[in-house]
A and B are shown apart, each in its own frame.
Chain A
Amino acid sequence: MSSQQRRPPDPVAVLRGHRASVMDLSFHPYQPLLFTGSSDGELRIWDTIQHRTVSSAGVHNAAHGIASVACTAKRVISQGRDGTVKCWDIEDGGLSRVPSVTIKTNSYHFCKLSLVKRPQSCSTRMDGVRFRDGDERGVKGTTDEENTQDEGSKYVAVAGEQTSEVEIWDLNTAERFARLPQSCTGGSSGMCMAIQAFSPSESQGFLNVLVGYEDGSMLWWDIRNPGVPITTVKFHSEPVLSLCVDGSCNGGISGAADEKVVLYSLDPSMGTCMIKKEIVLERPGISSTSIRPDGKIFATAGWDHRVRVYNYRKGNALAILKYHHATCNAVSYSADCKLMASGSEDTTVALWELYPPQT
């Protein structure tokens, strides 16, 4: 019980430099780099050891700002609220001057894009598991490993021009690959608010997409069958704002505008999504969630300025981190599980070291 008395730790470092709300952040898969995007369109690269800005660039229109940042080994994908998604090559000491690819999605809202998440078992250096698409609709998961090769994350899922649709784009060719749902039936669930694309081993590497909607419902799509979702569940009463699938792709968490965080299990073979645990919060609003790659703990970024850390397996609370003094927009773990970063509307990025992974 003495551990109960421990004060929650302070951030190990605070990265200051943004002049506007930090909207999203992403760790580099293996380099000590952190990419952050702010609402004035600035993308910053930080050295997470020296805690310094490596470079900074205005990558999107300042008026619209950056909605989301994702990072693979060689590329950074930034999503602006100006209707574009841009890919930038990571060069020495910064980014390429011009984006290698620019996708005009014409979607202007704040649903964050999602790269495809692969089960960790597959993603550990196992190269060359290839899934050829049988027909034009089939999606090849990835030809290359996300972590090692840039081609790995070939696809990106974003909210579409029709706000209730999810579009999947090919990052290399800047072509739209698929839309979900395929037939524009008119979103009865409202806008799509959160997307998580993943590729569970059970579905032979074909893309699966978990989408959270405005009315609190969550749909699970398999790209092979874009007409009908695998399953539809509704855990939340308010818009789902954040989805995260764990490393094994067997479960995930969701955060919403209501006062709940839901832990659920995913069973691709059965196509079922079952609620495991519901965590009730004191104050509503979770704008981002992140499960640590080792699946031990997860963190939530709350509207109430708090970053909360939970035991992923049990769902019990571990820490309430009070540092930010404005809404937290994003939280993310580094691939080596050692660092956690949180970005907030107060323009700061905080780095935390909690529960270091035992090796």
Chain B
Amino acid sequence: MEKKGPKTRSEVEDKLLEKVGEAIATVKKAKHVDQVICALHSLAVLLFPLDASLLSGAIDEQCREQIISSEAPSAAERREWWQAFYGGAAFSTFARFLLIDLASNWLACFPLSARKHVYDVFFVHGLATEVVQTLVPCLQKSGGDDLDVKAIHSNTERLLILCLLENNGVLQVAREFGGSCQSEDYINENLKPAVSRVAQIVASIPDKAQLRAPTSLSSHLFFKQVTVQLLSLAEGRNTNLLDGAFLKSDMNGTLLFVGETFSRICRRGSVDVLLSEIIPQILGHVRSLLSSNIEPLVSDVFESNPESQFWLNVIQAMSDSYAVERMSEQLLHQLASERVSDVEAYWILWLLFHRVSQYQISVRSMFSDKFLLWKVFPVCCLRWILQFAILERPPYGNSLAKGHNTRNFLDTLQHLVAVWSKKEFVQSAPVEQQTYVSAAVGLSLEKMSKEELDETKDVMHSILKGVSCRLESPNHLVRKMASSVALVFSKVIDPKNPLYLDDSCTGDTLDWEFGLSTPEKVTSGTSNCIQQGIDNPEASTTSVLEKDLTRKASDGISSNGKSKNRKSYEPKLVDPDEIIDPVTLNYESGSDDNENDDASESSDVSSESSLQPYDLSDDDTDLKRKFSQLVDVVAALRKSDDADGVENALNVAEKLVRASPDELKHVASDLVRTLVQVRCSDLAVEGEEDSAEDKRQRALVALLVTCPLESLETLNKLLYSPSIDVSQRIMILDVMTEAAQELAHTKIIKPKQAKALISTTSETQAWFLPSDIGPAGAGPWKEISESKSLLNWTNRYERELPSKPGQIKRGKTRQRSLKSADWQEAQIEWSHNKFPVYAAAFMLPAMQGFDKKRQGVDLLDRDFLVLGKLIYMLGVCMKCAAMHPEASVLAAPFLDMLRSREICHHKEAYVRKAALFAASCVLLSLHPSYVATSLVEGNVEISSGLEWVRTWALHVAESDSDRECYTMAMACVQLHAEMALQASRALESAESTSMAKKNIGLPSSLSKGTIIIPHSNVMKY
């Protein structure tokens, strides 16, 4: 048989080639379609069992006879012919002819049945591997002279669908590879390239298909079909195909093909399609096994199950590690979204990756390193990963001893913690990443025991380091991570004595997602916080706010408790029904005056009615000391031992300051100092610190607003003084920020102050006139004389009101252009922004010496929070002074400060964010005409500063690791562009006016030189 086979085969091949040549020749000579069909049939009948009668209806008499008369070879012969045809060169030659020449010339004329039986048959019943390799290249056939390319392509597509999709061609290919391996001792070196070549061809079909190709060839549907076909191998009836190979623990061709195809699909970005097919199947498999076994499953059950074989080996068959990674990632994500249970997920991971991770280090490290440290998965996935790759035991709790794999666990944990504790990680990793790694640390700590902790050297140290460097963070979320990890860690050390660093995490189960990705939970607070953090570098204030909320909630609880306490003893005092038992009274009061007592007792009864108690309710509102003088307030605030006094003083301070009494100027400095130094937390009842703090801050804001210069002098002195701590510094900056904003939007009615600034006439007004609160610029009140009635009880007054601001600006300007001074004045009055006057006082002292390291003051490094706040405050100040000349003056030194390397490249994202915010504020606050003039006049500070803002923002947008920084930098760039546009417009208009009035003598540089607008790279001549 061995000898005979090849010999006869070559003979048969020769004969076949002859036949093929004949057929081709016939077709080429053919004048009628029937002749073509006959020719094809003559060849087909040798290879396939054809029923001639099926064809007969469609063709004419002569041919029909020819077809019917043609004799069919025996089955064995036919098989031989078939082998030879597809094994040798005959098929490829003939197929090319069929696909190109025939398709473009004759196929359109074929009757349907003929096409099916004498044309398609060559492909549908052919050797699938060969068919695929022949068909696919034709998809991209470029047209020759007389070829109908369109027809060729559409025919090829049709055949592909027919073979691969409708007739399970892909599955057949897989089987053929398996078969070739089984039948002969095939050489692997040959098989592997062949397999990968075919897989490559199959996977490339959707890409090669034409635009107009049927939708089933689109990558989504096609890969789906392919996957379904290949996955049918996993089902029981197909497993016999795979058996032999696994015993040798070697890849057989089928699996190799499956693996290769899967890798290609993954590579081509259709991993989701692949997994949407895989997951239901493997999940069904795992579930059926889980449900059929009552006791906890052990791996043997899976190993021995025939259906598991496919899954156990399929990943190993995927040689492309990138594809494996993509697939694993997607698998985890999809399992998470399917809400698979922990046990199911564990076994799915185990089935797929257990074997391969034993052999391949890369897969192991993918799980234990990449997936833990570099990727971000939902927390449930994290749990599965830990369970599968690190703990290496199913999540049944106590059922299995930890055994041999603790080493692995501890090593991984150590590695994790080492990364987690690095300050650079806290500073530079994106929030999601930090959350994820924190969760990984936390979850692994939950699995840890005290003994294990003792075994490791660095874990404790690293955790303490990580916690401490997180607790300093301005980001609430980061602090929360620290406190959660600390809590878990403390439970490891002593389960009975958990350490709560934060009021909010009191539950037994910790939210390791930190409210980031659970939409069901009410985490509006956090999400708000994140949202606002994006808009605004003041993330910490919002988080403070949030903390307030939580604290207030807990307040509620504690005060409930308190009131309960109070109630518990109040009845003693209040309850009129309470009766002292006369017996005990008698007993107590001694024995010898019994009669006396009884007598008075009885007399009491008669007079009892007269002793009805009054309403005994009592409150202590009147006990609070009232302050009416600021001096008293200062004195009370200084008495730190009298908590009530300080509290009362705080209560009234704001009101008194707002009243702006005459002595305010003299007291302001003292008051500011004492207010800053008051220790709110010491004096307030627990839980009410915030309200005291709030009052203090509002009082300070009021001071700054009503009496800016004096207060600022003191505040600025205090800001860098060593006698106050970080929280006080931050408070000072907060207060200054708020005050600046309030000054900028002064709509608040502060009659005296407002008048003092705007006009002085009001003081001279008679008392009986209505108050002149109202829009600025209103005329004085005049009495309306009503002469008609003699009895005039009501006095009526009227006054002129200015028109609305918008109206003033438009239309009247031309008319008033002559008396411009007057108009100017009106405009000043109209502007309520009182801040610019004080802008320098606010900003310059604070900008001085921020970079000096002094005792207790180290803004650039340790107290970066203060630095961030400071920059933010300065930014707000700039914004408040926007469009005023003061802003232009202050912009240059401020930009200079931002430019310093320590700020714009600060390690902490918080500072960078603040700097970006401030830079944006500067861009917003500069008047376009000022920018234009500074360009014209060659004001280097401003022009280079603005250009620096642009380059720096671009740089941040490109390279910063923090997402918020990135978005803010983008916004900054955008603002810069807008400002540049405005400035160039201003420049144009200036140019045009300069043309008109050359004689006025504008800076000569404008007419002569070239100006480069730094931000738009437009040259102006």
**Which A residues are within 8 Å of any B CB, using their own CB?**
3-9, 248, 250-251, 265, 267, 269-270, 272, 274-277, 279-283, 295-297, 304-306, 311, 313-320, 322, 325, 355-356, 358
Contacts and interface: CB of A to CB of B under 8 A. Distances in A.
A281 B610 CA distance: 24
Contacts of B573: 279-282, 317
B576 interface: yes
A295 B592 CA distance: 19
Contact of A325 (B580, B588, B596, B622): B622
A265 B590 contact: yes
B358 to A, nearest CB: 75
Contact of A280 (B569, B604, B616): B569
A8 B615 contact: yes
Nearest to B610: A355
B570 to A, nearest CB: 8
A282 B569 CA distance: 9
A272 B622 contact: no
Contacts of B569: 280
A298 to B, nearest CB: 12
Shortest beta-carbon contacts, A-B, top 6: A3-B612, A8-B614, A319-B614, A265-B589, A318-B613, A267-B590
Contacts of B611: 296-297, 311, 318, 355
Q: Which of B573, B592, B613, B623 has the most CB of A within 10 A?
A: B613
A69 B118 CA distance: 137
Contacts of A279: 572-573
Contacts of B572: 279-280
Contacts of B791: none
B618 A320 contact: yes
A305 B623 contact: yes
A156 B802 CA distance: 82
A3 B577 CA distance: 12
A296 B612 CA distance: 12
B614 A274 contact: no
Given A283-B620, A296-B607, A318 B600 contact: no
Contact of A282 (B590, B610, B612, B618): B618
A279 B575 CA distance: 12
B576 A316 contact: yes
B623 A320 contact: no
Contacts of B618: 282, 306, 320, 322
Given A313-B604, A318-B613, 6 more contacts: A4-B616, A6-B615, A265-B588, A317-B576, A320-B618, A322-B618
Contacts of A282: 573, 618
B579 A5 contact: no
A9 B622 contact: no
A4 B577 CA distance: 11
B615 A274 contact: no
Interface string B571-605: 01111101110000100111011001000110010
17 contacts: A3-B614, A8-B615, A248-B596, A250-B589, A270-B592, A274-B589, A274-B590, A276-B585, A282-B618, A283-B620, A283-B623, A305-B623, A315-B580, A316-B576, A318-B613, A319-B613, A320-B618
A277 B580 contact: yes
A274 B588 contact: yes
Contacts of B620: 283, 304
B590 to A, nearest CB: 5
A3 B610 CA distance: 11
A269 B612 contact: no
Nearest to B619: A322
A248 B597 CA distance: 11
Nearest to A320: B618
Contacts of B616: 4, 317, 319-320
Given A8-B615, A311-B611, A317 B574 contact: yes
Nearest to A276: B588
B381 to A, nearest CB: 59
Contacts of A325: 622
B565 to A, nearest CB: 13
Contacts of A297: 611
A8 B617 CA distance: 10
Contacts of A322: 618, 622
B317 to A, nearest CB: 82
A359 to B, nearest CB: 11
Contact of B607 (A5, A283, A320, A358): A358
Contacts of A269: 592
Q: Which of A8, A251, A283 has the most CB of B within 10 A?
A: A8
Nearest to B572: A280
Nearest to A358: B607
B589 A276 contact: yes
A267 B590 CA distance: 8
Contacts of B600: 295, 313
Interface string B174-190: 00000000000000000
Given A277-B580, A282-B618, A358-B607, A317 B613 contact: yes
Contacts of B592: 267, 269-270
A166 B50 CA distance: 139
Contacts of A314: 579-580
Nearest to A6: B614
Contacts of B601: 313
A306 B623 CA distance: 10
Contacts of A8: 614-615
Contact of A318 (B585, B590, B614): B614
Contacts of B576: 3-4, 316-317
A152 B572 CA distance: 41
A94 to B, nearest CB: 36
Contacts of B575: 316
A248 B612 CA distance: 24
Nearest to A9: B614
Contact of B615 (A7, A270, A296): A7
B606 to A, nearest CB: 8
A250 B593 CA distance: 9
Q: Which of A248, A317, A322 has the most CB of B within 10 A?
A: A317
Nearest to A8: B614
Nearest to A354: B614
Q: Which of A274, A280, A304, A320 has the most CB of B within 10 A?
A: A320
Q: Which of B572, B573, B574, B596 has the most CB of A within 10 A?
A: B573
Contacts of A306: 618
A344 to B, nearest CB: 13
Nearest to B593: A250
A210 to B, nearest CB: 17
B222 to A, nearest CB: 84
A107 to B, nearest CB: 30
Contacts of A295: 600
Nearest to A324: B622
A274 B588 CA distance: 7
Given A265-B588, A304-B623, A325-B622, A316 B593 contact: no
Contacts of B606: 358
Contacts of B589: 250-251, 265, 274, 276
Nearest to A248: B596
Q: Which of A5, A297, A311, A316 has the most CB of B within 10 A?
A: A316
B610 A358 contact: yes
B647 to A, nearest CB: 16
Given A314-B579, A315-B580, A322-B622, A5 B615 contact: yes
Given A277-B580, A282-B573, A317-B573, A4 B615 contact: yes
A318 B592 CA distance: 29
B526 to A, nearest CB: 42
A325 B610 CA distance: 28
A276 B586 CA distance: 9
A211 B573 CA distance: 27
A316 B613 contact: yes
Nearest to B617: A320
A250 B604 CA distance: 17
B645 to A, nearest CB: 15
A274 B584 CA distance: 12
A267 B576 CA distance: 29
